[in-house]
Amino acid sequence: MSTASDLAAIERANASGRPPVVFVHGLWLLPSSWDRWAAVFEAAGYTALTPGWPDDPDTVAEANAHPEVFARKSVGQVADHFCTVIGKLDAKPVVVGHSFGGLITQMIAGRGLAAASVAIDPAPFRGVLPLPISALRAARPVLGNPANYHRAVPLTYEQFRYSFANAVEEDEARALYEEFAVPAPGEPLFQAAAANINPWTEVKVDTRAPDRGPLLIISGERDNTVPWSIAHGSYKKQARNETAVTEIVEMPGRGHALTIDHGWREVADTALTFVQRFTS
């Protein structure tokens, strides 16, 4: 179900006549994490939409005051939610996602709903086999307790520092934690962890869809949560698509917070440059 703000954004996009861009956030962030990106794409001639996951609060303060609203959200539920939003647009949008949003971006593209896609440090899907120790450590706050499957789980600052902000200075890491970090549902991490042993998993992507559209995967060189081996594993699966462009780029010295930290603009410009090759 779309919120009133989502519906207003859809109406604005349809009335604008400009190519729409849908941004998909990942775990432990809110749609507001895309605000600066949205402004860049708007200035470049697109209409930006930043829908939330189902039940997302409007602010970080509200999210931290009511963490329970994040619980019980599955990958399939969230992907279907974004597909519903996209289905109300008059034109196929560009889709840009980060982390689990990058996974959902690829799911949307595999359903033929994207004009072009950018998946940034994307969570793995079924068939992506690498499982580095750093990724397991980053997921431990959730996966370490099976009861977290149905819970909303916040990160401590130390956990955020390791999984998101390891590639920035301490002062910036603390500022990012205060400004952006919110609780997240545990279920998607359990789903991703079991994807390769569960043939019925929701965490799957149609990488060979003929109408997938061009796809760029962006990887942060120092990302602990989605290291290069995972991002490149997704790329290798996607590159088998016979009809669509598939590319990957590594951002030197960047961690999982690359969409929100001081170097966000370089990542946004990389995504925008790719998108502009295929849309107008």
pLDDT tens digit sequence for 202-216 = 999 999 999 999 999
The architecture that CATH gives domain 4-276 is: 3-Layer(aba) Sandwich (3.40)
Q: Residue 184: name the closest of 133, 141, 230, 131 by CA.
A: 141
Rounded-to-integer distance, Cα 59 and Cα 43, Å: 25
The domain limits of the chain are 4-276
Q: What is the dihedral of CA 197, 203, 208, 211, to 10 degrees?
A: 170
Q: ∠ CA 139-145-150 to the nearest 5 degrees?
A: 90
Q: What is the pLDDT of residue 111?
A: 98
Mean pLDDT (the chain) is 96
Dihedral, 85, 118, 172, 167 alpha carbons, nearest 10 = 140
Q: Which two tokens stand for residue 98?
A: 């980060």
Distance in Å from the first CA to the final CA of the chain: 30
Report the distance separating Cα 154 and Cα 183, nearest Å.
4
Contact 31, 58 (CB under 8 A): no
| Residue 60 pLDDT > 70 | yes
Asked if pLDDT for residue 41 goes beyond 70, the answer is: yes
In this prediction, residue 65 carries a pLDDT of 94
Angle subtended by helix axes 75-87 and 100-110, to nearest 10: 60
pLDDT at 151: 95
- Tens digits of residue pLDDT in 220-273: 999 999 999 999 999 999 999 999 999 999 999 999 999 999 999 999 999 999
pLDDT at 278 over 60: yes
Nearest to 106 by CA among 85, 146, 114: 114
Alpha helices, H only, the chain: 4-16, 35-43, 60-65, 75-87, 100-110, 133-143, 157-163, 170-180, 187-193, 228-238, 264-276
pLDDT band at 2 (very low <50, low <70, confident <90, very high): low
Residue pLDDT, tens place only, 85-140? 999 999 999 999 999 999 999 999 999 999 999 999 999 999 998 888 899 899 99
pTM score: 0.97
Query: pLDDT for 169-207, tens place per residue?
Result: 999 999 999 999 999 999 999 999 999 999 999 999 999
Average pLDDT over residues 52-68: 94
Q: List residues bridging with 96 in a β-sheet.
A: 23, 118
Query: How far is CA 69 from its chain centroid?
Result: 19
Average pLDDT over residues 22-49: 98
